[in-house]
Amino acid sequence: MTTTTIAPPPAGGAAPHPLLAGAILPTLLRLALPTSIAMVATALVAIAETAYVGLLGKLPLAGLALVFPMVMLQQTMSAGAMGGGISSAVSRALGAGNVDRAAAIAQHAFLIGSSAGIFFFVVFQLAGSPIYSLLGGRDGVLAEALAYSNVVFFGAPAIWLANTFASILRGTGNMVVPSVALLAVAGAQIVLGGTLGLGLGPVPRLGMAGVALGQVIAFSAGAFYLYWHLASGRARITLRLSSISVSWDILRDILKVGAVACISPVQTILSILIITRLVSALGTDALAGYGIGARLEFLLIPITFAIGVASVPMVGMAVGAGDVARARRVAWMAGAVATAGLTLIGLIVALYPLLWAGLFTSDPAILASASTYLRWAGPFYGLFGLGLCLYFASQGSGKILGPVLAGTARLLVVLIGGIWLVSANAPAWQLFALVGVAMAVYGAATAFSVWIVDWGPQRRA
């Protein structure tokens, strides 16, 4: 493949790319702001969809609870894990001045995204019923789960491609266009999901299938717009699908980060499912209290995602340009910002748990359980944010194995510690404390892995 390499500008020449030369903290915050807004909108979608399904009845609400972890798994894989691998490869190529390679990476990212979308479609069309039955779905609940799942995973290719195209643009340092597109997707999803699901106006009431269809239509439109932006020449690289020549070297460049990173969302889902199962043995009040606390953690992830994703192109371009020292400074600065923000939130809810728990229930027993959870888990939110943010920064460097192993350590702490506590008839607060300890292990292990792993040779002056 013929490549075009752009040499670094000579002294007195054109100014270097701002991601390679700008002040780190202001640049990081500027890149994180658009994504933060889009992530808030995504959180509002989850709230709106839950409200719509709640209006449909108890069975649909229970069915949604079965499908939600799988939808979350797809979203985190396509946007954060494989998406981070794509952004990393694009940014490292651009940092090295190789624009043609970055364009070829975009082509291969399209192949990966479309293939993954088809894979999710096939798996959940063929195996959706046994999967949800294994999770406890029966009779009417299972039927409602499948009504939602069959439609939402019919649109899996569109969801994967929308997040793939957004990741390509983030790799070039453009956070505004993908954020605006995903913000529009969120708005359309809220409107269409409610209209089709509840049957507003002259539209027939489609129930769970209608709520899911709103997501499929919105992401399809978003994927089309982002593709048009990349194909029209408006981006820093142009995506051309008419002349794709498969290169195993480029596929490896993406998958060595993206495929390994995909293990992390699976670990997160497993940790949540394990704790949920263990806490359920302590009674409905304990489970409901844990659910309220865990819901806050789901909302903390988008905050960290915005900061972490902003660090990916900054780290990747610096590594591609050979400026490893700057790449490390970006990673630690991003980790510090995430740690500070989540520590503040965690301490507030630990000291005043009813500020959060009181939004969802007035039942004294459930409030007591949720308060206990937040007091034990809240102080460790900062370390959770540190680990998650450094996970994204490591994607930019191309060295992701350490943070993934840190996620494995967290999963083992939850599994082994949880089984031991339940066998010893431990009270709920000890299980909740275990969640905090697992977060601390994850954050500390991720930071240690970033500290000891060599990100590459420093460039010579």
Q: List alpha helices for 172-283, DSSP H.
A: 176-198, 208-231, 248-261, 263-280
Structure-model confidence comparison of residues 387 and 47, the more confident one: 387
pLDDT of residue 13: 46
SS3 per-residue string spanning 392-404:
HHHHHHCCCHHHH
Please state the length of the chain: 461
Give the C-alpha separation, 414 to 270, whole Å: 10
Residues 6 or more apart whose CB falls under 8 angstroms from that of 308 comprise 334, 338, 388, 389, 390, 391, 392, 393
**pLDDT tens digits along 187-230:** 999 999 999 999 998 999 999 999 999 999 999 999 999 999 99
- Contact at 8 Å (CB) between 92 and 316? yes
Task: Quote the tokens at residue 321.
Answer: 């340009």
Please name every residue paired with 98 in a beta bridge, in sequence order, or none if there are none.
Answer: 5
What local confidence, expressed as pLDDT, does residue 155 receive? 96
Task: Give 98's DSSP letter.
Answer: B
DSSP for 173-186, please give it.
T--HHHHHHHHHHH
**Residue 458 confidence (pLDDT):** 46
User: Which pLDDT value is given to residue 15?
Assistant: 52
Q: Report the distance separating Cα 446 and Cα 82, nearest Å.
A: 19
pLDDT, residue 19, reads 77
Q: 10-24, 68-82, 311-325: which has the minimum mean pLDDT? A: 10-24
Instruction: Report the mean per-residue pLDDT for the chain.
Output: 88
pTM of this prediction?
0.81
What is the pLDDT, as a whole number, of residue 72? 84
CB of 441 within 8 A of CB of 303? no
What is the rounded distance in angstroms from the CA atom of residue 412 to the CA atom of residue 147? 34
Instruction: Please report the pLDDT score of residue 289 as a whole number.
Output: 78
pLDDT for the residue numbered 17:
66
Residue predicted with more confidence, 2 or 75: 75
At residue 7, the pLDDT reads 38
What are the pLDDT digits (tens) for 65-92?
788 888 888 998 998 889 989 998 999 9
Provide the CB-side half-sphere exposure for 25 (13 A, CA): 4
CA distance 287 to 369: 8
Nearest-10 Cα torsion for 238, 243, 247, 250: 10
Residues 254 and 92: beta-carbon distance below 8 Å: no
Does the pLDDT value for residue 322 go beyond 80?
A: yes
Locate all alpha helices (DSSP H) within 262-363, ordered by sequence.
263-280, 284-320, 324-351, 354-357
What is the C-alpha to C-alpha distance for residues 290 and 356, in angstroms, rounded to an integer? 12
Q: Percentage of the chain with pLDDT > 90? A: 56
**Top-confidence residue, 333 or 22:** 333
Exposed e or buried b per residue across 331-354, where buried means at least 16 C-beta atoms within 10 angstroms of its C-beta:
bbbbbebbbebbbebbeebbeebe
Cα 59 to Cα 61: distance, rounded to the nearest angstrom: 5
- 133-188: pLDDT as tens digits: 887 777 888 899 899 999 999 999 999 999 999 999 999 989 899 999 999 999 99
Q: How far apart are CA 253 and CA 30, in angstroms?
A: 28
- In this prediction, residue 460 carries a pLDDT of 39
Q: Residues 264-300: pLDDT tens digits?
A: 888 888 887 788 778 877 777 777 777 777 778 777 8
Q: What is the pLDDT of residue 2?
A: 37
Distances (CA, A) of 44 to 40, 50, 142, 191, 302: 6, 10, 26, 12, 11
Q: Is the predicted pLDDT of residue 105 greater than 70, yes or no?
A: yes
The pLDDT value recorded for residue 389 is 94
Mean predicted confidence (pLDDT) in 30-40: 87
pLDDT over 90 (residue 51): no
Residue 8 has pLDDT above 50, yes or no: no
pLDDT at residue 11, as a whole number:
41
pLDDT of 349 above 90:
yes
Closest CA to 95 of 340, 313, 352, 410: 313
Q: What Å distances lie between residue 440 and 108, 141, 343, 402, 446, CA to CA?
A: 37, 36, 12, 16, 10
Per-residue pLDDT, averaged over 329-357, amounts to 94
Q: What share of the chain is helix, strand, coil (3-state, %, to 5)?
A: 80, 0, 20
pLDDT tens by residue, 411-434: 999 999 999 998 888 888 999 999
Q: Which of the given ranges, 2-16, 27-41, 42-56, 447-461, has the highest pLDDT on average?
A: 27-41
Burial category of 383 from C-beta neighbours within 10 Å (exposed 0-12, middle 13-18, buried 19 and up): buried
